[in-house]
C-alpha cells in the first residue's frame, strides 16, 4: 500500500524550545481538516494553531491508515480528539518503535461532535525513546468517524525524524525526474535547474542531497514533481545557522506534472542562510521526488513592472476623468 503525506501546512520553527506540530503520512484514508465542517474553526479558539487530521475526506476510503514521523517520547502527550475514536474499527495508538508494543490512545468518553482535550501519560521506560502515533479506521457502524490534532512537541523531540546530513550525498542527479514531465506553461521557466532522485535506476535510486545555500525570504517558491512526502521520500528546508529543519509538505502529490508551491518560512529566518535537503529511501514505484527553485524576479524586471503598472494607472485615471472633463466644458 502506498502511503501519502498530505500535510502539514508549514509551521514556524525558530528556536529549539518552540513547539512544532508532529508530521504524519497517510494512505489517503485520512486528510487535513478531515472532520465535520462545524469542528474545523472552533480549534482556532484554543490558542496555538492546531493541525487537524481525520477521516471525513472528499474521497473517503472504506479503510485507512495514518502514521506519524518517529519522535522521542515525552512524559505526556496532549491532543484534541473528536468523533468515535476508541470504538471498534476506530483506532489510535502510540507505538514503541523498538519493541513494537502499543498503547491505545482512548478518550475519557466518546467525544462525538465536539472536541475533547486529552492528556496521555507515557510509560516512564518509553520516555526519550523512538515512538510513533498510528491511526487506523475500518468503520463497523454507520456514520462512524474520528479526528485528532497533531501533538505539538519541542523540536528536540522531533529531531529523530529529521533528515540526517552527516553522510556522503548520493542518489540524486541533475534533471532527475520521470521522462516526459509536463510544465504548467508547456516549457520550464528560463534558467530553472531541476534536481531529483529519478536517475539511472529510476524509482530504485536512493540517497540524499542538499542544495547550495541561499538567503531566506518570507516565502520559499519551489517547483515540485513526483511523490514528496510518501514514506521514505522527504523534503525540508534547513536553517544553516541553527541547523533546524522545517519539513515541506504538500496536500496532494504533483506526480508527473511540475507544480509551483509557495511555502511560508519563519519570520526569524528571513535574511538567514538556508538550503534544501531531500531524502529518498524508497526503492518502489512512485518512490522519487524532484524539485527546482522558482527563479526570483530581477531588480530590473521588478522596476520595469512597477513602471508599467504606474503608466497603466495614469492612463486609467485620465480615461476615467475624460467624461467629467468633457461634461464640464459643455456649460
For residue range 218-245, list pLDDT tens digits in order: 999 999 999 887 778 889 999 999 888 8
Domains 19-161 and 173-293 share a fold: yes
CATH architecture of 173-293: Sandwich (2.60)
Q: H or E element: which one contains 270?
A: none
pLDDT for position 325:
39
Query: pLDDT-based confidence at 294, cuts 50/70/90?
Result: confident
**Mean pLDDT lowest for which of 94-108, 234-248, 297-311?**
297-311
Q: Are 66 and 2 in contact (CB under 8 A)?
A: no
Q: Give CA–CA dist 244/237, Å, rounded.
A: 8
Look at residue 324 and tell me whether its pLDDT is greater than 90: no
Q: Give CA–CA dist 122/105, Å, rounded.
A: 10
Domain residues of the chain, as ranges? 19-161, 173-293
pLDDT for position 132:
95
How open is the CA angle 18-214-245, to the nearest 5 degrees?
Answer: 25
Q: H or E element: which one contains 188?
A: none
Region 188-210: what's the mean pLDDT?
93
Q: Give CA–CA dist 224/290, Å, rounded.
A: 6
**Cα distances (angstroms) measured from residue 274 to each of 193, 238, 269:** 18, 5, 8
Look at residue 29 and tell me whether its pLDDT is greater than 50: yes
Look at residue 66 and tell me whether its pLDDT is greater than 60: yes
Higher pLDDT among residues 211 and 323, named by residue: 211
**Cα distances (angstroms) measured from residue 3 to each of 51, 147, 190, 226, 320:** 19, 18, 34, 14, 56
Look at residue 47 and tell me whether its pLDDT is greater than 70: no
**Mean pLDDT lowest for which of 83-87, 277-281, 304-308?**
304-308
**Mean pLDDT lowest for which of 20-29, 264-273, 290-299?**
290-299
Cell triple for residue 107?
Answer: 478518550
pLDDT for position 310:
55
Look at residue 138 and tell me whether its pLDDT is greater than 50: yes
Look at residue 112 and tell me whether its pLDDT is greater than 90: yes
Look at residue 174 and tell me whether its pLDDT is greater than 50: yes
Superfamily of domain 19-161: Galactose-binding domain-like (2.60.120.260)
Amino acid at each position: 500500500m502506498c502511503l501519502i503525506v498530505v500535510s502539514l501546512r508549514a509551521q514556524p520553527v525558530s528556536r529549539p524550545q518552540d513547539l512544532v506540530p508532529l508530521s504524519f503520512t497517510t494512505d489517503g484514508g485520512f486528510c487535513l481538516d478531515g472532520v465535520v465542517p462545524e469542528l474545523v474553526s472552533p480549534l482556532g479558539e484554543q490558542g496555538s494553531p492546531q493541525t487537524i487530521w481525520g477521516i471525513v475526506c472528499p474521497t473517503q476510503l472504506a479503510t485507512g491508515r495514518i502514521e506519524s514521523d518517529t519522535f522521542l517520547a515525552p512524559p505526556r502527550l496532549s491532543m484534541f480528539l473528536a468523533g468515535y475514536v476508541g470504538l471498534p474499527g476506530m483506532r489510535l495508538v502510540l507505538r514503541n518503535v523498538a519493541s513494537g508494543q502499543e498503547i491505545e490512545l482512548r478518550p475519557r468518553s466518546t467525544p462525538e461532535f465536539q472536541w475533547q482535550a486529552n492528556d496521555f501519560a507515557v510509560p516512564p521506560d518509553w520516555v526519550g525513546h523512538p515512538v510513533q502515533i498510528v491511526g487506523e479506521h475500518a468503520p463497523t457502524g454507520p456514520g462512524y468517524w474520528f479526528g485528532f490534532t497533531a501533538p505539538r512537541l519541542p523540536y528536540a523531540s522531533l529531531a529523530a525524524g529529521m533528515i540526517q546530513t552527516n553522510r556522503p550525498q548520493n542518489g540524486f542527479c541533475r534533471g532527475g525526474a520521470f521522462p516526459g514531465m509536463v510544465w504548467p506553461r508547456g516549457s520550464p521557466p528560463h534558467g530553472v535547474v531541476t534536481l531529483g532522485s529519478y536517475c539511472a535506476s529510476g524509482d530504485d535510486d536512493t540517497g540524499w542531497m542538499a542544495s547550495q545555500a541561499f538567503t531566506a525570504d518570507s516565502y520559499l517558491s519551489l517547483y515540485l514533481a513526483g511523490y514528496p512526502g510518501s514514506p521514505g521520500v522527504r523534503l525540508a528546508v534547513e536553517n544553516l545557522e541553527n541547523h533546524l529543519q522545517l519539513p515541506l509538505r504538500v496536500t496532494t502529490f504533483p506526480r508527473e506534472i511540475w507544480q509551483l508551491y509557495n511555502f511560508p518560512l519563519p519570520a526569524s529566518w528571513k535574511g538567514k542562510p538556508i538550503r534544501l535537503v531531500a531524502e529518498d529511501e524508497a526503492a518502489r514505484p512512485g518512490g522519487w521526488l524532484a524539485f527546482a527553485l522558482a527563479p526570483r524576479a530581477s531588480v530590473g524586471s521588478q522596476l520595469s513592472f512597477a513602471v508599467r503598472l504606474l503608466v497603466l494607472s495614469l492612463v486609467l485615471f485620465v480615461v476615467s476623468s475624460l467624461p467629467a472633463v468633457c461634461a464640464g466644458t459643455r456649460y
